[in-house]
Structure 1
Amino acid sequence: MDLDLPFGGKVIIFGRDFRQTILVIQQAPKGVLIESSLPNSPLWSKLHKLRLTKNMRAMFNLGFSEFLLRVGEGRELVNLHGDVTLLTNMGIPYHDKEKSLNWLIQSVFSDLELYSQDPYSMRNKCILTAKNTSIDEVNDIMIRRFPGNLQTYISSNKTIDKRHQGNYEDLLNSQNRKGPPPHKLLLKKNCPIILMRNLYTIEGLCNGRKADL
């Protein structure tokens, strides 16, 4: 093995769509962001480039796929501020938080009653949010709309030494850390879930696995 080669000569695969969002560096000007991108790395000239030409995720929505290409290549019209104006069918009009959030959920998951009859009809749909607190709110609304009886499950929350730890139970129960499931789970029969943390690997399940209850 020639150790003078990058990464010791081992095969390393980088994947990126350079039309999309570049690196996020706090308070960095545009020039710094561009200089920090992979094409400006000294390794760039030593890489073998392979280009993917088909958008497999948007292959059934050619209009949206073409829109993404136009934006990425700078061919889409912009306003006086340099911003791209989205088509009306790409956004949810904002009136107030509760009403607009309900419109968003209704537009993505129009009929949750159908899920138990045809689970695959909704497997390719999801709502993404910038913060975990927002998705917790969406999940809470959707599980209450899902047909069936609501069941509440809480995590094991017993203190070891109640003399010194008992006063902290309520505080700890209110904390939802990134990664583990929340302290309180609201579930219904046949509802879709994602396995966030698996502590029983003998069953062959892994983190991120989708399942139905």
Structure 2
Amino acid sequence: MRLHSGNSEARNKVIAEFSKWQLDIGDGKVKCIDTQRTDAETEFVVPDEYVVKSPLKSPIKTLINIIYPDFQNNMHSQEYLRSRSILTPTNVVVNDINAQILKRVPGNVHTYLSQDSIEDMGVDDNDFDSSFPVEYLNSINMPCMPKHELKVKVGVVVMLMRNLNQILGLCNGTRMIVTGCKKIV
């Protein structure tokens, strides 16, 4: 619904057609390529108008250029940032996109690390600490957990992933702009 605001009637028609196509995929109404498959995988043809062709060797850079045209001149505009986003199916793609966009934002990169140890709440003399080496804890990358290393710059957009204060509007999916980076003591 957010996509329809402020567009021409022709643009809204294109958005509606794309939305319907996406819903049809989810409902299994799009014609499959191979109807004889027995596994849960389904293959179908994506119409050319929904495919981003990349003349560059990096399709992620092409996608960023399409979604965020003239980024350097508009990156300080809240309306510009508010009206755009890139949704991805996996954390790997998210990480690649974030790294590319972070390179485009001027300023110093600030790196914040997660807690890299587990508190032992039990027996004093055990092998609990050696069971989970710091390197292993830092390498865990699961869909419901943030990465060990967070890199940000002043001016980048971040998305809140855990409810902090719903009364103040700080709930899952809230997008915010980093206005300062402090040292952790």
Which position in structure 2 is the counterpart of 1:192? 157
The equivalent of 1:141 in structure 2 is 100
Deviations 1:26-79 (A, max 9, x none): xxxxxxxxxxxxxxxxxxxxxxxxxxxxx6633512341353488589xxxx99
Deviation, 1:116, is 4.7
Give the match for residue 51 of structure 2.
91
Letter in 2 for 1:188: K
Aligned-pair identity in percent equals 23
Structure 2: runs of 5+ lacking an equivalent: 25-29, 34-43, 121-125, 179-185
Q: For structure 1, which runs of at least 5 residues remain unmatched after alignment?
A: 1-54
TM-score by length of 1: 0.57
Q: Is the 8 A contact 2:139 2:148 kept in 1?
A: yes
Match of 1:127 in 2: 86
Partner of 1:58: 4
- Secondary structure of residue in 1 paired with 2:4: coil
> CA 1:187/1:66 → structure 2, altered by over 3 Å: closer, same or farther?
closer
Name the count of aligned residue pairs: 150
Question: 1:203, CA displacement in angstroms?
Answer: 8.6
- Say which one has the larger Rg: 1
Task: Give the letter aligned to residue 102 of structure 1.
Answer: K
Judged with a 3 Å threshold, the aligned counterparts in structure 2 of structure 1 residues 125 and 141 are, in CA distance, closer, same or farther, namely: same
In structure 2, what is the Cα distance between the partners aligned to 1:184 and 1:101? 21
Write the distance in 1 (CA, Å) between the matches of 2:17 and 2:172: 34
For the aligned residue pairs, the C-alpha RMSD in angstroms reads: 3.5
Q: In the aligned structure 2, how far is the partner of 1:163 from the partner of 1:70?
A: 56
Displacement of 1:110: 2.4
2:182 aligned residue:
none
SS at 1:122 equivalent:
helix
- Paired residue for 1:211, among 160, 176, 184? 176
Instruction: Compute the TM-score of the two structures, normalised by the length of structure 2.
Output: 0.64
CA distance in 2 between counterparts of 1:92 and 1:195 reads: 28
**Which letter maps to 1:165?**
D
3-state SS in 1 of match to 2:137? helix
C-alpha contact (below 8 Å) 1:181/1:197 kept by paired residues: no
> Which residue of structure 2 lines up, in the alignment, with residue 108 of structure 1?
67
**1: CA distance between counterparts of 2:54 and 2:75?**
31
What secondary structure does 1:165 align onto?
helix
CA contact (8 A) 1:180 1:196 kept: no
Q: Which has the higher contact order (CA 8 A, sep 6+)?
A: 2
